[in-house]
């Protein structure tokens, strides 16, 4: 395997210019001159784009500009000891030691592991001192080779697997945009800081060199979690309910002791911010080894990424209705984007096109109608991503980034064929597993860079979308049509039974898998715009609001002395969370007393679901609670259904607390609600 660095890639005490741009360009030039990349400007552009996302200057006068680039043919390190120093955004001043890490677009795992070892060495004071004192390029090369050799001692983050000491126990996750350097440096800096402060910290590095999930037993025992991340934490639900300290990954490198101190304090603070998720019901995906559990993880990933498209699009349509009336959602958008279509209220569609309306040439209905039409059209376009996003991120959960493109393509094909939500799920699974299989065989080095960006997406798109068009699309479309017709025909008792079922699902695990299934079912139907789907959406949102409002009612009004001070504070916050359709507002209560809280929620949710369906309430908004009142027909009946369900929940909970045995004593204080609680499918 070629070396990461050679003497041709080392510059000692060089004046490369006063600006970091000059230094990065000079290092990119040295990589190209060494035959490790094909084009200077392309490599510079990729490194500079990464630099603009986050400063790569670290403490102690070190900078590590880095990137993945299609122009790089071999993972490479270029080194410069610059004089004068150059500002790379380090918290304690400019840098004199600069490592540029250049990785191919599809960098192979072995080289990425070596790069990770080097990044970890940069938090070693002796290693940095040796870099400063070296007098020849050969000394620098030897230092780097020793730092990346297999004889290196294991990183502190990997030590002490069992967590059996009496020290305070913390866990954490680090990750950065490229997964090359900051991920591993932050892990070691935080672990070293914890050791100095008398704590035990176990870090999961979610980087390019692979990931070993934290032991679920460690997570369960940990007092708090540290997230030092520039990208989303994978499988965040494993940490649900834990006190959390979260910051960009660079803070984990620059100020690790501060983060560890904050985590130790959070572990003792019942009001600390906590990881949002499915509460006590959340299970670690690390222990999910059965095929069924793996499929569940994959599907929930797709649904989680799909929800923002639906929530944003649905709310925009609701705003369109508010500004311009229902016409904006059905025909009004033609004012904004004229084109071939049907007539609208006696005015031929082509007449709209001829008028060429704009802010300077408003339609007869005025400005609000025009803005409402624009909002509704943007919302409709956003909802159009529902199935492609679902398919794309299901495929992503299986095959990582190479699965996204074929997943989106097969999702678009599914929508075109009318296969809908079911077709999106089948297509996403097909695209993901196809992409994963195509990426498994070993390929020549010259082909590796093309695999994730060209070959895997191309072949997986052909296979998955081809099968959807030629074989699967027709039968799935027929099934989808039959289900839609069955839902549309529900009335009377059948509709009420459906409302009860949806209410139970929404209130069982408070943002967990069952809750998400019900919510995804509702928003998928919302895109079709049928009356039955609007009934279902109103029912799901109403039922999801019942648990936090019911907990608030019980703890702050009905039976204050039956709840702790922390629970009463949580209850005060739960009023607003419930009104906003954030079901997680009830999680602290369910985690502390599940045998009483969960049945109470189920009774109230079932009643609200039945009443909402019986009243025939509809909602055109997928989220927002009472704040999207303008998108809910028969709003007062809808609100009445919620109030009745929440009151029943509160009374049942108080009755259980008073008459069904004493509550078991707690070993830990209840988690307090964080002010930054985020909705997880409500």
> Tens digit of pLDDT for each residue in 51-82?
877 778 877 788 888 888 888 888 888 999 99
> Tens digit of pLDDT for each residue in 279-335?
333 333 334 445 766 776 787 778 777 777 877 777 787 777 777 765 554 455 556
For residues 294 and 528, the model is more confident at 294
Give the CATH number of domain 169-273; options: 1.10.275.30, 3.40.50.2300, 3.40.50.970, 3.40.140.10: 3.40.50.2300
Q: Which of 66, 182, 202, 623 is catalytic?
A: 66
Q: DSSP secondary structure string, 550-609?
A: HHHHIIIII-GGGS-HHHHHHHHHHHHHHHTT-GGGGHHHHHH-HHHHHHHHHHHHHHHH
Could you tell me how far CA 361 lies from the centroid of its own chain? 42
Rounded CA-CA distance 351/362 in Å is: 14
Query: Does the annotation count 66 as an active-site position?
Result: yes
Rounded CA-CA distance 399/440 in Å is: 10
3-state percent helix, strand, coil for the chain, nearest multiple of 5? 60, 10, 30
Sign of CA dihedral 557, 560, 562, 564: positive
Mean pLDDT for the chain overall: 79
What pLDDT does residue 424 have?
87
Q: How far apart are the first and last CA of the chain?
A: 51
Contact predicate 176/207, CB 8 Å: yes
Q: Are strands 76-86 and 200-205 parallel, antiparallel or unpaired?
A: unpaired
Q: Which of 111, 176, 535, 623 is catalytic?
A: 176
Phi, psi of 206 (to 5 degrees): -100, 75
Report, in angstroms and rounded to the nearest whole number, the Rg of the chain calculated over CA atoms: 28
* Residue 633, H or E segment: strand 632-633
> Tens digit of pLDDT for each residue in 347-365?
444 444 445 677 787 777 7
Cβ burial, residue 135 (10 Å; 0-12/13-18/19+): exposed
Cβ burial, residue 130 (10 Å; 0-12/13-18/19+): middle
> Tens digit of pLDDT for each residue in 123-182?
677 888 899 999 999 999 998 888 877 544 444 434 444 444 567 899 999 887 655 567
> Tens digit of pLDDT for each residue in 396-433?
888 878 889 999 999 999 888 888 778 888 999 999 99
Query: Does the annotation count 176 as an active-site position?
Result: yes
Whose structure tokens read 């677009």? 105
For residues 62 and 482, the model is more confident at 62
In three-state secondary structure terms, 228 is strand
Cβ burial, residue 288 (10 Å; 0-12/13-18/19+): middle
What pLDDT does residue 550 have?
94
Phi, psi of 376 (to 5 degrees): -65, -40
Q: Where are the domains of the chain?
A: 7-148, 169-273, 292-482, 490-659
Where residue 90 falls among pLDDT bands split at 50, 70, 90? confident
Catalogue the E-assigned strands of 54-157.
Answer: 57-58, 62-63, 66-69, 76-86, 95-104
**Count of Cβ atoms closer than 10 Å to residue 80 Cβ:** 25
Highest mean pLDDT among 384-388, 602-606, 629-633: 602-606
Which bin fits 477, alpha (ψ -120 to 50), beta or left (φ > 0)? alpha
Give the CATH number of domain 7-148; options: 3.40.930.10, 1.20.1290.10, 2.130.10.10, 3.40.50.720: 3.40.930.10
Q: What percent of the chain has a predicted confidence (pLDDT) above 90?
A: 23
DSSP H helical ranges for 34-108: 40-53
Farthest-apart Cα atoms in the chain, separation: 86
């Amino acid at each position: 395997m070629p070396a990461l660095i050679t003497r041709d890639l080392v510059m000692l005490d060089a004046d490369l210019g006063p600006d970091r741009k000059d230094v990065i360009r000079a290092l990119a030039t040295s990589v190209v001159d060494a035959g490790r990349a094909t084009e200077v400007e392309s490599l510079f552009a990729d490194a500079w784009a990464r630099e603009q996302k986050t400063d790569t200057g670290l403490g102690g006068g070190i900078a590590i500009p880095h990137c993945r680039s299609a122009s790089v043919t071999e993972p490479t390190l270029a080194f410069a000891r610059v004089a004068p120093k150059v500002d790379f955004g380090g918290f304690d001043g400019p840098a004199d030691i600069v490592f540029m890490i250049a990785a191919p677009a599809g960098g192979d795992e072995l080289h990425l592991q070596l790069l990770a070892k080097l990044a970890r060495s940069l938090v070693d004071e002796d290693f940095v001192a040796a870099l400063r004192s070296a007098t020849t390029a050969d000394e620098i090369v030897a230092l780097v080779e020793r730092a990346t050799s297999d004889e290196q001692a294991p990183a502190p983050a990997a030590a002490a697997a069992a967590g059996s000491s009496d020290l305070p126990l913390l866990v954490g996750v680090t990750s950065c945009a490229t997964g090359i350097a900051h991920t591993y440096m932050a892990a070691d800096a935080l672990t070293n800081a914890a050791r100095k402060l008398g704590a035990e910290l176990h870090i999961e590095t979610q980087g390019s060199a692979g990931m070993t999930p934290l032991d679920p037993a460690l997570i369960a025992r940990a007092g708090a979690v540290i997230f030092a991340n520039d990208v989303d934490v994978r499988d965040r639900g494993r940490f649900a309910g834990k006190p959390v300290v979260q910051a960009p990954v660079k803070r984990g490198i620059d100020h690790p002791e501060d983060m560890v101190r904050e985590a130790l304090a959070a572990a003792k603070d019942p009001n600390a911010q906590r990881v949002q998720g499915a509460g006590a019901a959340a299970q670690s995906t690390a222990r999910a080894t059965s095929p069924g559990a793996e499929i569940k993880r994959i599907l929930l990933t797709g649904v989680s990424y799909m929800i923002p498209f639906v929530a944003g699009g649905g709310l925009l349509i609701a705003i369109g209705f508010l500004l311009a009336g229902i016409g904006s959602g059905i025909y009004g958008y033609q004012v904004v984007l004229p084109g071939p279509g049907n007539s609208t209220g006696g005015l031929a569609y082509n007449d709209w096109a001829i008028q060429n309306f704009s802010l300077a040439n408003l339609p007869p209905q005025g400005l609000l109608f025009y803005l409402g039409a624009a909002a509704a059209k943007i919302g409709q376009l956003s909802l159009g991503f529902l199935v492609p996003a679902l398919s794309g991120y299901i495929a992503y959960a299986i095959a990582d980034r190479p699965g996204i493109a074929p997943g989106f393509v097969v999702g678009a094909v599914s929508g075109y064929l009318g296969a809908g939500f079911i077709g999106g799920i089948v297509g996403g699974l097909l695209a993901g597993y196809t992409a994963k299989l195509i990426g498994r065989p070993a390929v020549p080095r010259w082909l590796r860079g093309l695999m994730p960006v060209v070959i895997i997406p191309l072949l997986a798109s052909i296979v998955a979308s081809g099968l959807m068009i030629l074989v699967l699309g027709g039968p799935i479309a027929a099934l989808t049509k039959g289900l839609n017709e069955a839902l549309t025909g529900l009335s009377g008792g059948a509709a009420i039974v459906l409302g009860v079922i949806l209410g139970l699902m929404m209130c069982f695990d408070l943002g967990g898998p069952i809750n998400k299934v019900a919510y995804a079912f509702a928003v998928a139907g919302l895109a079709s715009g049928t009356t039955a789907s609007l009934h279902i959406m109103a029912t799901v949102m109403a039922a999801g609001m019942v648990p936090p409002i019911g907990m608030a009612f019980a703890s702050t009004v009905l039976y204050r002395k039956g709840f702790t001070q922390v629970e009463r504070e949580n209850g005060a916050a739960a009023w607003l969370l419930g009104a906003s359709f954030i079901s997680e507002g009830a999680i602290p209560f369910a985690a502390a007393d599940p045998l009483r809280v969960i049945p109470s929620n189920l009774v109230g949710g079932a009643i609200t679901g039945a009443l909402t369906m019986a009243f025939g309430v509809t909602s055109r908004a997928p989220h927002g609670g009472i704040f999207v009142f303008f998108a809910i027909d028969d709003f007062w009946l809808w609100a009445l259904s919620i109030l009745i369900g929440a009151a029943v929940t509160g009374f049942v909970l108080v009755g259980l607390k008073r008459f069904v045995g004493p509550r078991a004593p707690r070993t830990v204080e209840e988690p307090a609600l964080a002010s930054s609680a985020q909705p997880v499918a409500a």
